[in-house]
Amino acid sequence: MATPSPSSSPSYLLTPNLSHPEAIPTIISAHHNILTLSDGRIIIDATGGPAVVSIGHHNEDVKRAVAQQMDQLSFAHSLFWTHDAAKELARVLVESTGHKLAKALFFGSGTRYRTECCLE
């Protein structure tokens, strides 16, 4: 028996539009800052945040760098571990400010941790 495609089966995804979840457009592809929707519309991604604005979707250089890093290490919590990629990025950031920035601290996610760290 064939599995229905995600767009034809009932959605189990909670969306911001609770009464009409189907009103949320479905992206089927993205390149640079251009999104292609399931209804054929092509739009500029103005919601992707700083990474999409400066790097873009489907960036071959970024994909290559991410794959290379993941071959060595996918993630290490910064409160418990360090690694060469984090040290090198911190060096680049500090040097790019002419040493006005003294140190760099990286978080995987969550404003809670960043806020707590700044308060401490």
| pLDDT tens digit sequence for 39-84 | 999 999 888 777 777 888 989 999 999 999 999 998 888 778 999 9
Q: By the 8 A CB rule, do 94 and 103 touch?
A: yes
Q: Given this model, what pLDDT does residue 37 score?
A: 96
Angle, vertex CA 57, rays to CA 54 and CA 61, nearest 5 = 75
Q: Given this model, what pLDDT does residue 39 score?
A: 95
pTM of the model: 0.61
